[in-house]
Amino acid sequence: MSKNPLFATRASRMKASEIRELLKLLDQPGIISFAGGIPDPALFPADAFSQAFQAALGPQTQAQALQYSVSEGYVPLREWLVQHMREIGVTCDIDNILITSGSQQALDYLGKLFLSPGDTALVGWPTYLGALAAFNAYEPRFDRLNGNSGAAEHKAAAGDGAVKFAYLSADFANPTGETLDRQGREALLDLAEELDCAIIEDGAYQALRYDGDPIPPILSLELARKGSIENCRTIYCGSFSKTLSPGLRMGWVVAPKPTISQLVLLKQAADLHSATINQMAVHDVAQACFDSHIPQVRAVYQNRRDVMLDALEQHMPDGVEWTRPEGGMFIWVTLPAGVSGSELLARASDTVKVAFVPGQAFFPDGSGANTIRLSFSNSDEAAIREGIRRLGEVLRA
């Protein structure tokens, strides 16, 4: 398809999400999918949401639920989030919180706020595909965050542009499942100080820890250094998608008030506010059962992770390596050199009806051809064992 000359230059950097395209495979009969990082719908607190929506549409609240509202977000939900953030080590107040339509919207706003064409975003190698898509629209260059480069090297590589932020998911990252240890988080804070850049901390999977001791969020560690969130450069993005419901598109940003004020302006220009009725429902459900619901979710996903790790040990041929995540939804697999993840997907989906995400899409420079991402969250134990067995057969062939 030829490029429309009326389109802005940024349009040439935008392309369909490989994961969204792969989700179409779910409609094929017999497919065992380890592709999308999709929560198991059996774990949604559907009864609690049914009651919450009925309550929101009651005679005393229906006008508020169906009306325009403030861009910052539903006050009771933001008040609940103040307490939630305090429980994970982040002291803030309601004016430090903005409700967004999923954390993906937050990433788009942050890219728009920070990036001018040619500026540098530091990201993992690989990193979350949705973050690359969100930032790409603002025409940055990407530099490798998890390399051995220091501040001087990053500044030199940035050229005429500026290093504006480092983006990462510190806990159980998408796509690798890996966690940045406390020492690494402290080192990142030091690097950001040297570069005078922001840190965008994607906490989408923070609540889904199965093993090991929790590590304080980067924002919590910075607060310990600086005493007040208003002095911090870290911006925390949270989401209810992996814990309560992805379909309601409910996320939040925690940041110093001047940053929140700028994000509110972007929110007003984009969609005015996130759906009020959804915010009311999420607040009611979170207040009623978040603390009791999350352990149930963790137990199911931990078991599925363990089953997938066991199946990989049993069925993968020599030369295949994988991560062993302490939480989250993903296992990252490195294939032998010369084996293409994309070609493996084509063969596996066609011959043995197994789908996954080729890893190359997660690398800004198009490397990583011999990697794949497996998600264990939305497949039962039998499907995981059978799917990994089939995948092992294809690899051996």
Q: Which of 14-18, 30-34, 116-120, 162-166 has the lowest mean pLDDT?
A: 14-18
Q: Cα(first)–Cα(last) distance of the chain, in Å?
A: 37
CA distances (Å), origin 35, targets 13, 22, 32, 170, 396: 24, 7, 9, 21, 21
| pLDDT the model gives residue 18 | 57
Q: Kind of pairing, strands 330-334 and 251-254?
A: unpaired
Q: Which of 34-38, 232-236, 370-374 has the lowest mean pLDDT?
A: 34-38
Q: Whose structure tokens read 């989401």?
A: 239
The whole-angstrom separation of Cα 300 and Cα 308 is: 13
Answer whether CATH 3.40.640.10 is correct for domain 46-289: yes
Q: Residue 137 carries which side chain, given as an amino acid letter?
A: A
Sequence-ordered strand ranges (E) for 21-180: 32-33, 97-100, 120-123, 141-144, 163-168
| pLDDT the model gives residue 13 | 67
Answer whether CATH 3.10.620.30 is correct for domain 9-45+292-396: no
pTM of the predicted protein model: 0.94
In the chain, where does the domain assigned CATH 3.40.640.10 lie? 46-289
Q: pLDDT band at 134, cuts 50/70/90? A: very high
Which residues contact residue 134 at a Cβ distance below 8 angstroms, ignoring those fewer than 6 apart? Answer: 104, 107, 108, 110, 111
In the chain, where does the domain assigned CATH 3.90.1150.10 lie? 9-45+292-396
- Mean pLDDT, rounded, for 332-360: 94
Mean pLDDT for the chain overall: 94
